[in-house]
Amino acid sequence: MVAELVKQGYEQSVALKGADRAVDHYRRSASASARGKMFDDCLHIAKVWQVNISRNARVLHDEHCSRLADDRSRYSG
């Protein structure tokens, strides 16, 4: 799972965490969405988790930069 995620361009650390989510999904699932598709289902779960993490990190970064800009404008005048 990790090798596939890294091959698709995800960072190693993020791929490891996504793979953990995929394993959790595997353990909770009674069956795959289709015959022989369990790996694909788990890979999908890992990708969705990583997209959500990336989006949240981007929002936090933007908020932090915005606060820094506000602080600078308050103290520069």
Could you read off the pLDDT tens digit of each residue along the chain, which spans 77 residues? 889 888 988 888 888 888 898 889 888 887 777 787 888 888 998 988 888 777 766 666 677 677 767 777 777 65
**Whole-number pLDDT of residue 50:** 82
**Whole-number pLDDT of residue 9:** 86
In DSSP notation, 14-77 reads HHHHHHHHHHHHHHH-SS-SSTT-HHHHHHHHHHHHHHHHHHHHHHHHHHHHHHHHHHHHHH--
- Listed in sequence order, the residues at least 6 apart from 54 whose beta carbon sits closer than 8 Å to its beta carbon are 14
CB 6 within 8 A of CB 15: yes
**Whole-number pLDDT of residue 14:** 84
Domain ranges of the chain: 2-75
